[in-house]
């Protein structure tokens, strides 16, 4: 991901302390160095997820058959308030461990379930316990952002926990803009400016957030390079141009957009307008923390749309415009740019932090031969091929095993959270939400029937 050296075949990376010291071939390491044999593998920067509701991970897969409206009803209207601080912490703990296991070394915890600062403390404590880099994107869907962002208890939380630069956990404000012409969200943007923290917002979500919100942000001067627009799938040309002009970035959650219906994954629009792209996985209530699936789904969705558009015009696609290299970039340095930490991580560059992922699986037939490393990462490799993960030079995973992680503790905590939530819902509501009803449909009559051939 560093154009200064590109792909280095048979290369070496020398790590000293927390940083990458050298990248090249035939590097000479100190005699006391730990040597990791990466032959037959692919070494890449740690991947970066710019939008995941980590607090929901203990409900892993529960909403696999939900629509977006069913998700909203469950979390926003009915049951999100049932999550205790320890349940939020459990979700974050499990999500952070899962991310590391899949080679994701930096995650944005889009934590919009922080009903109280105690919930915020639990979320933050869990992130600090697990190796990795995190952004606590603080949000509260149970109160208006102009209220909670200016509440004394929230300001005290920020003062206590973010009073000095921290390369492990940073802060964002996470809230959405409704499009109300009174623009009540102005006070939340002003709070972000006062605290000198970025804003991340769901934008271009079908039926929820649209062009009016972008226009109001623009008219009031709150669009700048620090803002991340999550999904950004159903906006007008004017809105995309405003995002591009202000230097904002987009976080595309392709599996979410394809399944939940925020809009068709917008990478084709974002590329057209020159908007920087990063990738994300959204929520463990539907999906995993696996950016391999994000890269694969994103490349497939973009190409599928090009084919569909060409076929509608009676034409054939003869050149793939979006390449495998592009989505690997979005999953690494693209995420670092979106978070403003591309001077720290996102590429194998001397002087940067040693956030590294080695893909190597001597027992996996899909890991040889490696002919096109970018294509291999996107279409061939998977989380089971993650051999080694370093964060700041320290091993978090080695030889396919997590290092220093108490997985059993996370398991017990998740079981406790599930038991609590199941009791809170009651068995009938639990089953109803697990398997939403499908309204009956009348099939289209088919005039063509098969008959016995006549002699």
The pLDDT value given to residue 455: 63
Tokens linked to 124: 């933050």
Give the torsion sign (CA, 148, 149, 152, 156): positive
Residues of the chain with pLDDT under 50: none
Tokens linked to 240: 């995309």
The pLDDT value given to residue 167: 85
Q: Note whether 204 and 239 are within 8 A (CB).
A: yes
Specify the pairing of strand 47-53 against strand 104-111.
parallel
The pLDDT value given to residue 452: 72
For residues 154 and 163, give the distance between their C-alpha atoms in angstroms, rounded to a whole number: 13
Give per-residue pLDDT as tens, 127-152: 999 999 999 999 999 999 999 999 99
Give per-residue pLDDT as tens, 1-34: 999 989 999 999 999 999 999 999 999 989 999 9
Residue closest to 286 by CA, chosen among 256, 312, 252: 256
The pLDDT value given to residue 256: 97
For 42, 43, 45, 376, the CA distances from 10, given in Å and listed in that order, are 10, 10, 16, 16
Q: Note whether 252 and 280 are within 8 A (CB).
A: yes
Angle, helices 427-434 vs 407-425, to 10°: value is: 110
For residues 327 and 240, give the distance between their C-alpha atoms in angstroms, rounded to a whole number: 20
> What global pTM score does this model have?
0.96
363 Cβ contact list (under 8 Å, min separation 6)? none
If one counts every other C-beta atom within 10 angstroms of the C-beta of residue 435, the result is: 10
The pLDDT value given to residue 165: 86
For residues 216 and 430, give the distance between their C-alpha atoms in angstroms, rounded to a whole number: 39
The pLDDT value given to residue 448: 86
The pLDDT value given to residue 453: 67
For 51, 90, 163, 284, 405, the CA distances from 396, given in Å and listed in that order, are 22, 19, 27, 21, 8
- Which H, E and C letters describe the chain, residue by residue? CCCCCCCCCCCEEEEECCEEEEEECCCCCCCCCCCCCCCCCEEEECEEEEEEEHHHHHHCCCCCCCCHHHHHHHHHHHHHHHCCHHHHHHHHHHHHHHHHHCCEEEEEEEECECCCHHHHHHHHHHHHHCCCEEEEEECECCCCHHHHCCCHHHHHHHHHHCCCCCCCEEEEEECCCCCCCCCCCHHHHHHHHHHCCCEEEEECECCCECHHHHHHHHHCCCCCCCCEEEECCCCCHHHHHHHHHHCCEEEECHHHHHHHCCCCCCHHHHHHHCCEEEECCEECCCCCCCHHHHHHHHHHHHHHHHHHHHHHCCCCCCCCCCCHHHHHHHHCHHHHHHHCCCCCCCCCCCCCECCEEEECCCCCHHHCCCCCHHHHHHHCCCHHHEEEEEECCEEEEECCEECCCCHHHHHHHHHHHHHHHHHHHCHHHHHHHHCCCCCCCCCCCCCCCCCCCCC
């Amino acid at each position: 991901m560093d154009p200064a050296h590109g792909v280095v075949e048979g290369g070496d990376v020398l790590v000293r302390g927390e940083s990458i010291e050298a990248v090249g071939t035939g590097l000479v390491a100190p005699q006391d160095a730990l040597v990791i044999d990466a032959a037959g593998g692919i070494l890449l920067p740690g991947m970066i997820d710019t939008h995941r509701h980590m607090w929901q991970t203990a409900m892993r897969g529960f909403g696999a058959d939900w629509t977006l409206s069913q998700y909203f009803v469950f979390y926003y209207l009915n049951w999100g308030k049932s999550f205790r601080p320890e349940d939020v912490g459990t979700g974050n703990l499990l999500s952070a461990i899962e991310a590391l296991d899949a080679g994701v070394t930096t995650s944005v915890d889009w934590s919009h379930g922080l009903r109280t600062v105690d919930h915020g403390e639990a979320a933050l404590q869990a992130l600090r316990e697990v190796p990795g880099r995190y952004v606590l994107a603080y949000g509260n869907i149970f109160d208006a952002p102009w209220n909670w962002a200016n509440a004394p208890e929230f300001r005290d939380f920020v003062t206590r926990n973010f009073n000095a630069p921290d390369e492990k956990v940073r802060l964002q404000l996470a809230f959405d803009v409704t499009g109300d012409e009174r623009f009540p969200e102005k006070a939340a943007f002003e709070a972000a400016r006062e605290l000198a923290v970025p804003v991340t917002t769901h934008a271009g979500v079908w039926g929820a957030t649209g062009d009016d919100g972008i226009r109001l942000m623009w008219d009031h001067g709150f669009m700048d390079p620090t803002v991340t627009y999550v999904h950004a799938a159903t906006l007008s040309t004017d809105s995309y141009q405003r995002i591009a002009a202000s230097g904002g970035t987009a976080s595309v959650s392709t599996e979410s957009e394809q399944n939940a219906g925020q809009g068709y994954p917008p990478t084709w629009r974002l590329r057209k307008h020159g908007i920087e792209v990063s990738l994300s996985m959204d929520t463990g209530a539907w999906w995993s923390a696996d950016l391999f699936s994000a890269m694969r789904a994103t490349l497939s969705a973009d190409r599928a749309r090009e084919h569909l558009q060409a076929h509608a015009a009676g034409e054939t696609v003869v050149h793939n415009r979006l390449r495998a290299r592009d989505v690997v970039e979005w999953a690494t340095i693209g995420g670092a740019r979106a978070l403003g930490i591309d001077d720290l991580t996102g590429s194998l560059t001397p002087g940067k932090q040693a956030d590294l992922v080695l893909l190597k699986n001597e027992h996996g037939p899909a890991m040889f031969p490696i002919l096109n490393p970018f294509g291999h990462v996107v279409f061939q490799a998977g989380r089971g091929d993650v051999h080694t993960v370093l964060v700041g030079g320290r091993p978090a995973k080695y030889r396919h095993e997590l290092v220093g992680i108490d997985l059993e503790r996370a398991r017990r905590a998740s079981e406790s959270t599930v038991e609590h939530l199941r009791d809170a819902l009651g068995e009938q509501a639990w089953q109803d939400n697990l398997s939403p009803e499908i309204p009956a449909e009348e099939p289209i009559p088919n005039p063509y029937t098969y008959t016995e051939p006549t002699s």
